[in-house]
Structure 1
């Protein structure tokens, strides 16, 4: 898609939500189904993708781990938001690359140490932008990315999670816990 077409599309979307803010609320859905070993097939919209764990903990190492998908989602979101904000400002950005690194401690994941978080202890991002725009303008955009990236917000701020569990026993009865 050309720069002009992409900018026009983004401007139309923004104008639509400004005129009709009630249309800006979305519900996202996904489903995961247990596969073999420790693998899972995830489905979102019309897409399906595999998630697995490495062999050393019982997986088959056939796909990224859930945490790697989370990390990749953060990088992708930063790239998209950077490009969208640049388009909004009329700035051409040729390329955005985000290198991410996260540290986790398996003592938390395996419940060995209850004081250790099971998730990431820290995440580091390094963004590389290719553009002919003035560095000051690109820096202004960069300052907004962290605030406006939805995945960054999901990771950085607590999101209420409600959970229900239904167990089907050997008699075929469904028991809700």
Structure 2
């Protein structure tokens, strides 16, 4: 009896990613990226963010199309609810980054994914952002991420994939380590 195995296909080109890592080692300057967005106030608490270009690989780059994202606050905050809140976008970014990492790590480890779903929640006390209590921080007091993953792997292998994704996640790093942010008016 001959056993044949189906190739693992999670939609991630691991060879290209590993090739980029090698290229970055040979030419470190091409690894320096600048991500950008422009945000325009629409009305009330509603704004629109546009993402079109970035700098990387030692030159200007453009997405294959422009992306526009609306942000607002819900009706319960006397707003118009024209989009997710900015803090919800932070959760979207974290979940998307971790999930992309899971797909990449699983592909590299030859683990076939059937489904991946993350549920994220963040706790926040609005006394801080509203200035009602100076002892309460403006941002999240905690974030939880829970994954349900169906894959051709043991639970230990799945936990190892998630741990590696977390270790390499840019958004996880941004949220868990201080980042210098400069705000100016021109």
By relative contact order (CA 8 Å, sep 6+), the higher-ranking structure is 2
Structure 2: which 5+ residue stretches go unaligned?
Answer: 1-6, 53-65
**1-structure distance, mates of 2:9, 2:148:** 23
Alignment of 1:13-24 (within 5 A): 13-21=17-25, 22=28, 23-24=30-31
Indicate the SS of the match to 2:164. helix
Superposed CA RMSD in Å reads 1.8
The aligned counterpart of 2:167 is 147
- Which structure is higher in helix share? 1
Q: How far off its partner does 1:28 sit?
A: 0.1
Q: 1:6 and 2:26 equivalent?
A: no
**1-structure distance, mates of 2:134, 2:96:** 32
Aligned equivalent of 1:39, options 46, 57, 63? 46
Aligned equivalent of 1:76, options 83, 91, 96? 96
Indicate the SS of the match to 1:161. coil
Q: Cα gap change, 1:52/1:3 in structure 2, threshold over 3 Å: closer, same or farther?
A: farther
Q: How far off its partner does 1:29 sit?
A: 0.3
Q: How far off its partner does 1:101 sit?
A: 0.9
Question: So what's the TM-score if we normalise by structure 1?
Answer: 0.85
Contact 1:51–1:65 (Cα < 8 Å) also in 2: yes
Indicate the SS of the match to 1:91. coil
Q: Aligned residues, how many?
A: 164
**1-structure distance, mates of 2:140, 2:155:** 32
Structure 1: which 5+ residue stretches go unaligned?
Answer: 167-177
Q: Which aligned runs of 4 or more in structure 1 are off by greater than 3 angstroms?
A: 2-7
Alignment of 1:101-140 (within 5 A): 101-140=121-160
Per-residue CA distance 1:114-152 (angstroms, 9 max, x = gap): 111111111111101111222222121122222111111
The aligned counterpart of 1:174 is none
Contact 1:38–1:58 (Cα < 8 Å) also in 2: no
Q: 1:54 and 2:41 equivalent?
A: no
